[in-house]
Structure 1
């Protein structure tokens, strides 16, 4: 209450009144407009519209900082809520492996198993970098119980802006995540690797360096982002290289304080000088193997002349160089298949003098493969064509500076055909690469319902293509396939999308095994369940033996980075959970992971019913207008949190296919309706109940880990819904009937899920998560009132348009940040 906010001395006293007016008013069916006006009348003496709006802005600022404080408190409590011996930790895996005599099986699995977490720049996080750093320090001060430090940091928070004045560039986004790499993951990975070695390195068994890896999309993800250029990619690659060398340089400083012995200190001093020169000087040639050769020399002297004193510190340093190389994180390139096709068409037209309208896409690839065409990016006027070709040329440069692990994947969004993959192979050829120089995994991304349905046939044909077979042999018969949850859920609804991805994985596993290919599934998962998120450990632990389990790879972004992997304790714990989920799945048998034929038919039926209900909603003529007029959808682009445009396509008219998954899911979340996380689920269960088959669904929940995980995640989405916020819409002249459809399905889904689970409350098995949601929802309820108040006023167009729009945009920030525990 005594924080240095301008003109905000009484906000702390007024806020509880707005909360009570909101809580009681919504239950009585009042509109947000009535609630906020009543608050002004009863608790303030403000008269003009300008004064009222100014107060609302101050309340938003205050609530934003409340959310940061609660985030910090929750982060600080993490180690009290989780222990080293929890289920899913390395310690628990070690003990279980010994008790059940499976130790050597776990080692066998660890021989080539690994997890990879890929950071994306998708804008789901509203904290600017300066606030992120305060959050980091605040957590440390809370852990120390340092009241004066906490007070100072809160004062700093009061004076620090929460809004980016300008949209961040892709390089800004990259630097924001590199901060976490340097300050969290360098130590988290190092310590986790050490723990794995201590637990499983018996009998001359070595844990390989790629058991835990980082991937990186900012600066390489071109899909829909015109601001990611080939030059930006080179800059980001250089930032990654320099950042890991800085970590090595600083780590080496502390190492040299202990290894001060004759012979050893001289070797380490040479290494230190060379690192310095590669960071700050003109020299850019240092490699991981070169650094390791210094450490090999130092270790030999240490063991032969100094009794191996502090050898463990040297080994820990060496392990980190093996893990992070000179790349830190693997930078991926991603682009849409339709862009590739456009580039291929231009190349064929320009260099082969062919009429592209008379050629099939497969014939265009043949032309480029057989006619030794070398394309010069500067020959093309079209910027996207130039940039696409330059980015392919740059792969070789980045591999030379950062090592091959620095960039070795090219991901193709909207992959629907064999040509979508072969086009990328052809692009490498026309950019002058010989077959043996294409040291890159070409990764199709299947994301729509149509793409998922065709995936098996596409991969079968690809595996039978002689050119691609040679490429796969060079890649040690490994094939990565990406599956996108966000667009899948947007396209098919929650139950259908998840089942489609599960069954597609099964089919792709089978076709890969038939062709002696080791398939890796890379999951494009978001934070909230509606974007494929939810409890990640449960998700991977519930996949049965019909799905390949060679590695676990997934995307994380925005609030998932800060809430699940935001500090060392959290990151270590959650990386462990992922790693052990994959190992346990293979080593320890559990019938609940495998889906029987009867269960499969039942899930198929539920998914079909759910899809029909969701499709009908999608086709409702008011579906897109409702989001456009009632929600915050059109304001996402004004928040300046991401470099990427908030919708695909040009023009003012909004079509369903133009909606990006993040603003789409986020807008439902801001309305507290979370439709993509549950819609259709209730109807599908109710249909079976009406046929007298509810016991079948109850058995399915009890016996299938996969189905149980879906239900629990959907219940989490519903627990974060709050329909009283929009009760006032019942009688809306345009949208009243549409709102009722959503409300009815919410109530039905809740009722049906209570019936099949036996729960009395949502998230019943997760008391800590439930409590966190409850506290956060209480904090942001006044914020939701302000946002809805501004949206209603905007519909009436009563003037003050600019201020009201700003009010909506500003209230987006706290709402999204407060829902961080959706991951």
Structure 2
């Protein structure tokens, strides 16, 4: 479909449907909310016109009260605002469901990045064999994290799921009933979710979306590319899982929680097999076959409810027995159904998704120091890092966790537990340990040493140890750290046992927070090149795991374009990314979307190796130009970070302080236990989220426009034009940054320019936004931001329209708090409640 066609189709099957079904809200049984649907358009119009005239949110909301209501007391007014928030939250769910239901109608099987298109291209360019070869040695892993960028309670998630199905059938009665249910269902968690709650929330998606979508996608690859000599590997699509394993900065993730989540993953996949088998047995009712499948059904039941052990190998041996009889005695009837079941077991094993452990290197160091102080006889004051490492790698001491307390005890217990998890869920169930804030060799060796201290012989450490380079310093150190590790005999032997493969994680979110958008992306690109080179020199297969948040401001953006733009200088053995919150629901939230986006990732990686494209490889001149732009942009962003008003502005004028008080996620919003807020302690999500709530999205563009303009002043804009035209990597950076700007709306905070304390700081942000926007429009030749992406642009437009009244309410409440007027507690609750709707509505920021 052409862009105009897509836009028209979107209008028909998304916009029009939203208007029709939105009218059903008018009759919903909200408590004390009957006239909200009538009042809301007035608040929207007051906001839209008011901001264009430079009015403040306080003026807009007060005018709305005086013109359209007869409310007099503060209590009555805040009560109405709460009702409006509840109403908008439900409008967002309806729009999400309509957009999700429209997905298949807006995307064809043959468009760019699909398997069908890959197959056609491989045929035309005589690259079918090369494509098969790449498929054999490639994989895509999507890793679910519990980071709180969206958190509907499970009850609302299920309504979303059902609402989408009802909309696909255009069943007005069913939609009406579900909207009524939505009207009565609370959107708030009464308490903070525990890590186990977060895990269960994502396991819902594993069972009801990914079990089928990945199974069907595997069959699609098998049918397209498989033949008598080639069967695609079952692990071409992999799922990773962080809730319950990611203890970095989350004191609520304990060894006990990790064990519980591993058990839930195990039980959940067995339940999916049990349900699948029930349907299978309806067809395979033949003598000999039905008895075997019935027996397997009983065995799965006992494993689920009586905790009897069952392995993937055992399940497969039963299926093979049934397949043998089916082929020999029953003409192989319905064999394809049995094969599909068998493939699912090959894909998901008894683990469903691979649980990762993650912890900060500084926590490991404190554990090691405590152990050495207690068990080595060394005096910590007079011992070097080298001495500590030597002791760790040579000692015969085996620790008992009960000799310790707190984090040390829990860390050791967790390492002991890994044996049990691997025994129960298979080795794929938990096979790596990720170390945040890695920037030294000791950070990796500390983890290796801890396994030795927990009684693992070196050949028994069936775990990949994964350093995570995330700050500018960490990225700079990456090459030297890995070089030293590869040359260390004890670690080299460990890598040999792990198939001479090393996974390295790169933190886009924290990198962007630390270095700004352009600098972070370029730094990571160069770091990947260096790590590829050093790994190749040491005959190590390097796998990059990208901690890319959903929105560009967190290093995210369009994933297919990003991976398709990486040249030959970066290892392309696997694509691994983290996804969380609204990215799960918006990009991988239902079967159609999940299949489409998994395909996009897979084809991006395969095309990169199989087909030639000069726009992927950077020339020396292009590299120097990007480097120059990145440095100029970094200086501009660094000046902003160093501005004395930077942290106070976020603290006093944004929602930053409220993130930690919402019951969205289990993790605190900052590292460290002190009350003083330091930039380095800020987590990337609340940091970026706070800019997003202000509709300023600073981390997604700040410094980029300034850098482009500096070169324009030097008369070198034609060089940047050429770069944009000939480098896919640079073009992707520009388009992703434009997406960030498209979701900014500075009129919301025009009132801040007159603020005595923060006016000049706000002006710095606004001027850079205006400059970046004009420079990028000039560079691309676009008349508007995201001109070539009509679907995303229209979706953003409608969502921004839905949440504009919500933003007015939030800013109004913040202004009341800043002025210390009225009921502070009520206004703080308004700020927090409006956080949810804004977060959930911005789902298409990925």
Q: 1:369 and 1:449 mapped to 2: Cα distance?
A: 29
- Per-residue Cα deviation, 1:637-660 (whole angstroms, up to 9, x for no partner): 111111101111123221111111
Q: 2:307 and 2:628 mapped to 1: Cα distance?
A: 64
Would you say 1:756 and 2:740 are equivalent positions? no
Would you say 1:354 and 2:378 are equivalent positions? yes
> Which residue pairs with 1:373 in the alignment?
397
- Per-residue Cα deviation, 1:166-196 (whole angstroms, up to 9, x for no partner): 0000000000000000000000010000000
Q: 1:724 and 1:352 mapped to 2: Cα distance?
A: 62
Preserved CA contact (<8 Å) 2:392 2:449: yes
> Which residue pairs with 1:261 in the alignment?
286
Aligned pair partner of 1:145 in 170, 181, 196: 170
**Pairing of 1:242-641 with structure 2 (within 5 A):** 242-283=267-308, 285-381=309-405, 383-641=406-664
Q: 1:97 and 1:147 mapped to 2: Cα distance?
A: 44
Q: 2:37 and 2:541 mapped to 1: Cα distance?
A: 58
Aligned pair partner of 2:99 in 74, 80, 91: 74
Q: 2:179 and 2:733 mapped to 1: Cα distance?
A: 39
Q: 1:704 and 1:195 mapped to 2: Cα distance?
A: 32
- Per-residue Cα deviation, 1:141-164 (whole angstroms, up to 9, x for no partner): 000000000000000000001111
Preserved CA contact (<8 Å) 2:506 2:544: yes
> Which residue pairs with 1:31 in the alignment?
56
> Which residue pairs with 1:162 in the alignment?
187
Preserved CA contact (<8 Å) 2:150 2:582: yes
> Which residue pairs with 2:66 in the alignment?
41
Preserved CA contact (<8 Å) 2:151 2:665: no
Which secondary structure does the structure 2 equivalent of 1:686 belong to? helix
> Normalising by structure 1, what TM-score?
0.99
Q: 1:307 and 1:417 mapped to 2: Cα distance?
A: 61
Q: 1:641 and 1:287 mapped to 2: Cα distance?
A: 36
> Which residue pairs with 2:199 in the alignment?
174
Which secondary structure does the structure 2 equivalent of 1:77 belong to? helix
Displacement of 1:348 after TM fit?
1.1
> Which residue pairs with 2:217 in the alignment?
192
Moved more, 795-804 or 602-611: 795-804
Q: 2:727 and 2:148 mapped to 1: Cα distance?
A: 34
> Normalising by structure 2, what TM-score?
0.97
> Which residue pairs with 2:11 in the alignment?
none
- Per-residue Cα deviation, 1:672-716 (whole angstroms, up to 9, x for no partner): 000000000010000000000000001111111000000000000
> Which residue pairs with 2:4 in the alignment?
none
Q: 2:670 and 2:257 mapped to 1: Cα distance?
A: 22
Moved more, 648-657 or 37-46: 648-657
Q: 1:341 and 1:730 mapped to 2: Cα distance?
A: 46
Would you say 1:734 and 2:757 are equivalent positions? yes
Displacement of 1:52 after TM fit?
0.5
Q: 2:415 and 2:518 mapped to 1: Cα distance?
A: 38
Which secondary structure does the structure 1 equivalent of 2:166 belong to? helix
Which secondary structure does the structure 2 equivalent of 1:131 belong to? helix
Aligned pair partner of 2:713 in 685, 690, 698: 690
- Per-residue Cα deviation, 1:56-91 (whole angstroms, up to 9, x for no partner): 001101111111100001001000000111111111
Q: 1:688 and 1:375 mapped to 2: Cα distance?
A: 60
Q: 1:256 and 1:245 mapped to 2: Cα distance?
A: 16
Gaps of 5+ in 2: 1-25
> Which residue pairs with 1:87 in the alignment?
112
Preserved CA contact (<8 Å) 2:436 2:469: yes
Aligned pair partner of 1:99 in 124, 129, 135: 124
- Per-residue Cα deviation, 1:86-125 (whole angstroms, up to 9, x for no partner): 1111111111100100000001101121000000010101
> Which residue pairs with 2:21 in the alignment?
none
Displacement of 1:203 after TM fit?
4.3
Displacement of 1:206 after TM fit?
1.4
- Per-residue Cα deviation, 1:304-355 (whole angstroms, up to 9, x for no partner): 0000000000000000000000000000000000011111111111111101
Q: 1:615 and 1:454 mapped to 2: Cα distance?
A: 20
Gaps of 5+ in 1: none
Q: 1:398 and 1:281 mapped to 2: Cα distance?
A: 17
Q: 2:436 and 2:753 mapped to 1: Cα distance?
A: 40
Preserved CA contact (<8 Å) 2:504 2:542: yes
Aligned pair partner of 2:136 in 111, 114, 128: 111
> Which residue pairs with 2:828 in the alignment?
805
Which secondary structure does the structure 2 equivalent of 1:638 belong to? coil
Displacement of 1:282 after TM fit?
3.7
Q: 1:360 and 1:684 mapped to 2: Cα distance?
A: 44
Q: 2:301 and 2:543 mapped to 1: Cα distance?
A: 38
Preserved CA contact (<8 Å) 2:351 2:426: yes
Q: 2:798 and 2:556 mapped to 1: Cα distance?
A: 21
Aligned pair partner of 1:777 in 780, 783, 800: 800
> Which residue pairs with 2:8 in the alignment?
none
> Which residue pairs with 1:768 in the alignment?
791
Preserved CA contact (<8 Å) 2:469 2:507: yes
Preserved CA contact (<8 Å) 2:421 2:429: yes
Would you say 1:674 and 2:706 are equivalent positions? no
Q: 1:369 and 1:654 mapped to 2: Cα distance?
A: 38
Q: 1:266 and 1:45 mapped to 2: Cα distance?
A: 73
> Which residue pairs with 2:730 in the alignment?
707
Displacement of 1:357 after TM fit?
2.1
Moved more, 304-313 or 197-206: 197-206
> Which residue pairs with 1:129 in the alignment?
154
Preserved CA contact (<8 Å) 2:143 2:241: yes
Q: 1:404 and 1:731 mapped to 2: Cα distance?
A: 60
Displacement of 1:450 after TM fit?
0.4
Displacement of 1:202 after TM fit?
2.0
